[in-house]
Structure 1
């Protein structure tokens, strides 16, 4: 009978502010420095012998690099949106993903409807949320109906010269 364990079910106590405790081992007591040699952190209290760090009032700043010129002083200090390298960077940039007409020539058949979904399916316009701009690199000989957010002037001329049509998609 001594080997048998008693399995009595006790009702679980409801969790509340009165019985919350941190996980065992997650909290440990703070180091009490300068409380005698027997503690292991007596005398100099972990500050070492001499030097700036041992003195009272010594500041160990997060950005201090031991006397080396700090990074915030080594970095350039160009400000204002009027220069290319200035801060803040690229606040006013508009993003488009370019698709060249030579790629349209390679991937689509004559008289095809080149929609945004077709461009995505063919791997030319992968980012769905970025507007598509058709650019004039290369040449086109097939008549295509091309749907895009923007067209360069020379790309528009080349598509229309090949007998195709240009459809501007509103975002």
Structure 2
């Protein structure tokens, strides 16, 4: 038998340590909390994650670069310059753009961006428009309809 094989008897319980009951009790006077300071006072000290008033780590992390945006909206994006090849007075939707081969994959609702120029009037139905895209489509005589 070795010392590490020694175990307390089943059902036995160790008595709790009574602190602050004199020097002979082993944890007298300051009860093992040291001299003075915040961690020696009664109560729980500070909450978990508290860094003395400095912005704690769990609040600093989301402000760092490359932190993912939760519930980010993903759109299928098309520029105004891609719509310039279409015939005048065509109704532009995500389905019609996929048929025409301008868009190859459906990555979500359609969003029109304002890069490029447009000369022919089009009826564009999309989930979102940038401000410049809306101006260019309406300046060419077309209409913008926002789908919900």
TM-score where L is the length of structure 2: 0.55
What CA distance in whole angstroms lies between the structure 1 residues aligned with 2:137 and 2:107?
Answer: 25
Aligned to 2:74: 95
What CA distance in whole angstroms lies between the structure 2 residues aligned with 1:127 and 1:101?
Answer: 18
Instruction: Quote the RMSD (CA, aligned, Å).
Output: 2.2
Question: Is the aligned partner of 1:160 residue 2:141?
Answer: no
Question: Is the aligned partner of 1:80 residue 2:58?
Answer: no
What CA distance in whole angstroms lies between the structure 2 residues aligned with 1:127 and 1:81?
Answer: 31
Choose the corresponding residue for 1:122, options 100, 109, 116.
Answer: 100
What CA distance in whole angstroms lies between the structure 1 residues aligned with 2:94 and 2:122?
Answer: 13
What CA distance in whole angstroms lies between the structure 2 residues aligned with 1:165 and 1:134?
Answer: 13
What CA distance in whole angstroms lies between the structure 2 residues aligned with 1:127 and 1:140?
Answer: 23
What CA distance in whole angstroms lies between the structure 1 residues aligned with 2:118 and 2:106?
Answer: 25
Q: How many residues align?
A: 91
- Which runs of no fewer than 5 residues in structure 2 stay unpaired? 1-56
CA deviation profile, 1:79-104 (whole Å, cap 9, x unmatched): 73222223xx3324221121011110
Query: Does the 8 Å contact 2:112/2:128 carry over to 1?
Result: yes
- Which runs of no fewer than 5 residues in structure 1 stay unpaired? 1-76
Q: Alignment partner of 1:81: what SS?
A: helix
Compared CA separation, residues 103 and 161, structure 1 to 2 (3 A): same
Greater RCO (CA < 8 Å, at least 6 residues apart): 2
